[in-house]
Chain A
Amino acid sequence: MTVDPTEPLNQLDVRGIARALSQIADRPGDLADAFFERAEVVELPPETCSPGLRMRREEGLAVRLLRGGNSWLAARDRVDRDSFHDALRRTARAMPRAPYPLPDIEWPRWSQPLEAAEVQEFPSRFFEALRLRDTEISARLSIRRFHRSLRVVGSEVSAGVETESFYSLEAESQEGRRGLLVTSLIGDDAQDAAKQLAARLSRARSARDAAPPDESEGVVVLGPAATAVLLHEAVAHALEADLLALDGHPEGAIGVQLGSNLLDLFDDPSDAPTGVKRTADDEGFPVVRRCLLRAGKVEQPLADAQWAHRSELLVAGAGRRGTRHDVPGPRSSHLHLVAGESTDLFADAEGGLFFSEAERGRLDPASGFFTLVFPWGQRILNQTPGPSVGRATLRAHVSDLLHAVRGVGKEVHVAGAGWCAKDGILLPVWATAPGIRLEGLEVGP
C-alpha cells in the first residue's frame, strides 16, 4: 500500500489545537478533545457483482467537551481550520470574548490512486483452497480492506497517531455465510486465510444435514473461536461501565465472583495482532492490560474517560468510537483468556458436544439471561469430536454459564475475531484464547 494516510495527522499543530480546546474546558474537571480521522475501505465484491472494485475514503474531525456526566460533541466531514472552529464553537458552552488565535490545519486531499493487488489476488487463492478441500462447494467471496488512522488531541492528554489495518473476508455458500477477520493478506498469511475460510465452508457443508442435538445437560467443549464469542458477549459486554450503570454504580461490580475461578481474562489492545495493536484508545488515553476477571472475580471493568473521570476505581483507556460522528463508549478490543491446566478437555465427556464456532451470542442486560448460537457442532465419542450435529443453542443465566467452566485448555490460540455491533456501531474485536469445558448447562435445538 503506498497510501500514507497518517501524514497529515503527524503534521497537526497539537499545541495550537490543545490551546484552543483549553478555552472551552474552562471549569475544574472539564475535559475537551479533538478527534481527527482518515479512513479508507477497499472492497472487492463477488465476481458476478458490479461495480467491480469499490473504494471509500473519508476524513473528518470531532470536538467534544465532557463536563460532569454530560457531554457535547460536534463532528464534521472535513478537516480544515473553519470546520475545527465551527465544531469548537458548537461544542463550547461559552466562548471567551478574546479567544486564542485558531491553529492552522494543513490537510491535503486524497491524491494517491488505489493500490489493492493483494485484495485482487486473494480470490484465486481462496477458490484454489476450496477446490482442494471440497470440489462440490460453490461460493461467493467478498473482501474488504480497512485502514484507519486517527489522532486525539486533548485539553489534558494528547496521543500520537494510531493506525489500524485489517481485512474482512466473507464467503457465502448454500449453508450460509462464513466470515474471517485477518490483519494480513500478504504471502503465507493469504494462504493461511484462504485455507481457514475454505475449511469453515467445508465443515459447515458436511454438517448441513445433521440433526440438531436434543435438549440435554452434558459436557460442552468450546473451541478457541467459540470461547472468544462467549467471553466477548458474556463477560466483556457485561463489564462495560455504561451497561453496568444501568443497574447502579459500575464500581459495584468490582470484586464480584462472576465466574469459575479458572477464568483469568484480560483486555489488552497493546497485545493485539500486528496491524491492530494500539497504544492509545480513541480518546487519546493510554491503553492498559486490563484484568477483567482474576480467578473469576471482577477486577477492572471496561471504562472510557467519562466513567473514569467519575470514579477513582475505574481506569480510562477502553474508549472506542466507530467514527468521528459517534460518541466514545467503553468497549473491549483484544480479549486474552489465560491458558489453564487442562490437557484434555474431552476426557470423560462421552456423548457430550463440541462446538468449534459460535455464530452469535446475546446477553439480556435486564434479566442476565444469555444465549449462544452454534451453526453446527460435533458429538464427542472416544474422547474426540465425532459425528456432526446441526444448529444448537446454549441457554443459561450468565452467572450459571461462567460458573459452569470446569476446564480451560493449555494451549492459547489466536481465536479469531469478529464484528461487535453494540448500539449499532460496528467495531472489530480480536481475541486469543484456549478452548474451555462447560458442565451442567442446557443445550438444545
Chain B
Amino acid sequence: MRPVDETLLEIVDVLSEQGWDEVEVVHKTGRSRSHRFRPGGFVSSLRREEGWAVRSANLRRSFFYAAAGSPDPEAPWPEGDGLGFRLPSSRPVPPWKEPAELDAPLVGETEAQALFESLDRELDTELPGARLVQGHLDDGSSEQQLASSRDIHCVVRQRAAMLWIEARLDARRGEPGRSAGAGLELMARDARRFGPRELARRLADRLMVAQRGVAPPRDRGEFLLAPDVVVALLEALAPLWLGPEAPRKVAPFIDRTGHVASRAISLVDDGRLAGAVTEAPVDGEGQPTREIMLIDQGVYRQPLLSWRQLPELVEGHGIRRAEAKASGCSRRASWRDLPGPGPTHLYLRSDQTVGVGTLLQDLARGYYLLTTWGAVRFDPTSGRFAAPVTGFSIEGGRATHSVRAAWLVGSVSSLLTGVVAVARDLTFLPRGQGLIGAPSALVKGLELRGAP
C-alpha cells in the first residue's frame, strides 16, 4: 500500500501534542463525471471533490472537524464536547492487489449520450411505444488516505459507476392498459459494462407489468423471486443479520438444530469480494475487510459486526462472543461523514449449476415476481413480512398474465425455510452505503394477496 501524505501525520502529531489521545485524519479526493438525459436536453458535469476530516478524543471530550480542500494542520479546532471514544488499533492487512479498472478513463459525454440513445432505441424495439424519459449516469473514482494515532496508515482507491433510468409507456386509445412508468438502478465498477439491450429488456418487462397487470386473487403456490425482490427482502430483514442485537432478534426463527433457513441459503458479507464494485483491503476505519459467513447452509453463525460492536454482542442461542469475528465493515459516505457499521457486499450465495430459465421452466403453477414497488414491511413482533411486488403469473413454465399491486406475505420462518433453490444470476444492488446481492430464488409456502 502507498504511504500516506506527511500532512496527515503532522495533524496527528499536532493534535496529540495538544492533549488529544485519540486522533484520526482522513483525506479524500475524487473526480466524477455525471451525465443526465432528461426531457429537452442533456446535462454533463465534471466534479473534482476534495475534503478531509479529523476526529479526536481524550478521556473527557471529543470533536469532529471536516472541511473542503486539502488538510490544514493549523485549522481552528473546536474545543470538544460530550464523551470521549477509542479508535481502532492497527491490524495486519492481508496482501491485496488493486483491480485493473481503477485507472480506466471516466465515461465521456459522447459515450453517455450513445448509451442513452441506444437504450431508447432498444426499448422501442422491445416494446413499441415505450420511451426513455430520464437517465442518470455517474462515473467516479476516489482515493482515501487515513492516518491515526494508533498506527493506522492506509490508502485505498475505488471506482464505481451508477446508472438510473426511467421509462414510460403511454396508454393507447382503444387498447387495454394504462399509462405506466418503470425505473431501474444499477451499479458497476466500470460504466462500460451497462448493456443497453439487456437493460431495455428488463425495463420493457416492468413496463408491461405496470401497464397491463392486474391485482391478483388471494393465491398460494411456488414463487420465483428475481434478484431485485430477494435483495429487498434481505434489506428489510437486516435487523436479523446486522449488529450486536441481531442474535436476540433472530432467536425466534432458529430451530433446535440451529437452522434458521433451508440449506439453499448461505448469507455472506465480504468487503474484499473479488470483482465486486467496492472491493477494498480495509474499511473506512482502516480495519481489514474479510469474508464473514452469517448463515451457512441454513445454520445461523453470527451477525455482521464491526470491531466496536463485537464486545456488545448478545450471547446465547448458539452464539458465543469468543467464537464471533469482527470484520472491517465501517463505511464513510463521504469525508463529511463519520464511519458507521453496515454491509459491505452482503449477499446470498448463488448456485452456479442452476439457471433462472431452468427454475422458470420447472414452475408448474405459481408466480415469477420481478420487482418491488415500495418498501418491504417486516414486523419483528409477529415475525411476519409483506412485500409489495409485481410480476407474472406462471403456468407450465409460461407467463399467463401480469400481476401488479400485489403483496407477497407470510412468516419470516416460512420465507427462510421455504427457499428450495437459488440460481446463478447473483446481482448486486446499491443499498444505503453498501451493496446487497442475491440470485433468483424459488420459494414455497408463501401467499400472494391484493393487500398486506
Residues of A within 8 A of B (CB): 44-45, 47-60, 68-78, 86, 90, 109-114, 120, 242, 245-246, 306, 310, 325, 327, 364-367
Contact with A along B60-97 (1 / 0, CB 8 A): 01111111110010011111111111000000000000
Q: Verify A69–B179 contact, CB threshold 8 A.
A: no
- For the complex, give the distance between the alpha carbons of A59 and B180 in Å: 42
Contact with A along B183-204 (1 / 0, CB 8 A): 0000000000000000000000
Which of B42, B57, B178, B179 is the one whose CB lies under 8 Å from A51?
B57
Q: Verify A51–B49 contact, CB threshold 8 A.
A: no
Q: Which chain B residue lies CB-closest to A39? A: B68
- For the complex, give the distance between the alpha carbons of A44 and B50 in Å: 24
B47 within 8 A of A: yes
Q: Show 6 A/B contacts (Cβ-Cβ < 8 Å), sorted by A.
A: A47-B83, A48-B83, A50-B84, A57-B66, A58-B66, A365-B181
- Given A77-B50, A246-B133: A55 in contact with B78 (beta carbons within 8 A): yes
Residues of A close to B66: CB separation below 8 A: 54-58
Which of B49, B63, B65, B83 is the one whose CB lies under 8 Å from A325?
B49
Which of B46, B68, B76, B168 is the one whose CB lies under 8 Å from A60?
B68
Which of A60, A310, A327 is the one whose CB lies under 8 Å from B40?
A310
- For the complex, give the distance between the alpha carbons of A421 and B371 in Å: 23
Q: Which chain B residue lies CB-closest to A56? A: B66
Given A51-B338, A60-B68, A69-B40, output 9 extra A-B contacts at Cβ < 8 Å.
A52-B61, A52-B63, A54-B65, A70-B42, A71-B44, A78-B50, A246-B134, A364-B181, A367-B178
Nearest Cβ in chain B — how far from A85, in angstroms?
13
Smallest CB-CB A-B distances: 3 pairs: A52-B82, A69-B41, A366-B181
Which of B41, B68, B75, B83 is the one whose CB lies under 8 Å from A306?
B41
Which of B41, B68, B82 is the one whose CB lies under 8 Å from A78?
B68
Nearest Cβ in chain A — how far from B22, in angstroms?
10
Q: Verify A73–B67 contact, CB threshold 8 A.
A: no
Q: Which chain A residue lies CB-closest to B55? A: A51
Q: Verify A51–B45 contact, CB threshold 8 A.
A: no
Residues of A close to B40: CB separation below 8 A: 69, 245, 310
Q: Verify B69–A77 contact, CB threshold 8 A.
A: yes
Q: Verify B85–A50 contact, CB threshold 8 A.
A: yes
Which of A45, A69, A366 is the one whose CB lies under 8 Å from B180?
A366
B344 within 8 A of A: no
B48 within 8 A of A: yes
Q: Verify B48–A77 contact, CB threshold 8 A.
A: yes
Which of A53, A86, A90, A327 is the one whose CB lies under 8 Å from B82?
A53
Q: Verify B41–A70 contact, CB threshold 8 A.
A: yes
Residues of A close to B168: CB separation below 8 A: 246, 366
Most A CB contacts (10 A, CB to CB) among B41, B44, B85 go to B41
B150 within 8 A of A: no
Q: Which chain B residue lies CB-closest to A58? A: B68
Q: Verify B67–A53 contact, CB threshold 8 A.
A: no
Which of A52, A70, A72, A245 is the one whose CB lies under 8 Å from B80?
A52
Residues of A close to B321: CB separation below 8 A: none
Nearest Cβ in chain A — how far from B190, in angstroms?
22
Nearest Cβ in chain B — how far from A48, in angstroms?
7
Most A CB contacts (10 A, CB to CB) among B48, B57, B85, B180 go to B48
- Given A56-B67, A68-B41, A364-B181: A120 in contact with B81 (beta carbons within 8 A): yes
- Given A53-B80, A364-B181: A325 in contact with B68 (beta carbons within 8 A): no
